[in-house]
DNA sequence: AAGATGACTAACT
DNA sequence: AAGTTAGCCATCT
């Protein structure tokens, strides 16, 4: 058919699929920053695109959007905003710790998620 | 069409 | 430590 140029779910935002894939792969209890997601998705230097992709993600994907924070380990929504509170609550429910509104990105990296699974929290 | 914006970041003051 | 600048580029006015 001349029709099947794209799948039912795509609405022209196909350029974000790789980003969504990466985010979907972040294990519970760990976080990545925008720049890191961009790099893993094959778009080094395009951190802003990740924020864009998150905002435009189809609901059908149900991405763990809360596992993406900024390079300082902080939530990139205005402090005290409903979105920020929700994100923090979701992360803390997974065992991510905040110290002074900041997450230790080294400690809660996906790389260390494996360690946590084998050894438990330090 | 051109300028402003933004779920960003690294480098520099 | 906190503010500014420059780079980034898809969207929105």
Confidence class for position A9, pLDDT limits 50, 70, 90: low
The C1' atom of C6 and the CA atom of A70 lie apart, in whole Å, by 19
pLDDT at A83: 97
Q: Chain centroid to CA A6: how far?
A: 26
> Rounded to whole angstroms, how far apart are CA atoms A121 and A101?
20
Confidence class for position A10, pLDDT limits 50, 70, 90: low
Scanning every strand, the nucleotide with its C1' closest to A13's CA turns out to be C10
pLDDT at A115: 87
**Closest Cα partner for A31 from A81, A99, A89, A94?**
A94
pTM, full prediction: 0.91
Show the CA angle centred on residue A88, arms to residues A82 and A92, nearest 5°.
145
Scanning every strand, the nucleotide with its C1' closest to A74's CA turns out to be B7
Q: Mark the nucleotides of strand C covered by protein, meaning any atom under 7 Å from a CB.
A: 7-11
Alpha helices in chain A (DSSP H): 17-24, 34-40, 47-55, 82-93, 110-119
**Which pair of structure tokens corresponds to residue A81?**
């905003």
Any atom of strand B under 7 A from CB of A71? yes
Is it the case that residue A7 has pLDDT exceeding 80?
Answer: no
Mean pLDDT of chain A: 92
Contact partners, residue A85, CB within 8 Å, separation at least 6? none
């Amino acid at each position: 058919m001349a029709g099947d140029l794209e799948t039912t779910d795509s609405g022209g935002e196909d350029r974000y699929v790789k980003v969504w894939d990466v985010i979907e792969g972040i294990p519970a209890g760990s976080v990545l920053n925008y720049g890191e997601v961009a790099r893993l998705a094959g778009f080094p230097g395009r951190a802003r695109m990740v924020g864009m992709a998150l905002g435009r993600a189809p609901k059908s994907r149900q991405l763990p959007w809360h596992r993406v924070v900024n390079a300082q380990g902080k939530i990139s929504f205005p402090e005290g905003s409903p979105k920020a509170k929700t994100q923090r609550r979701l992360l803390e429910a997974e065992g991510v710790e905040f110290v002074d509104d900041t997450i230790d990105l080294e400690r809660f990296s996906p790389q260390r998620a494996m360690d946590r699974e084998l050894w438990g929290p330090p």
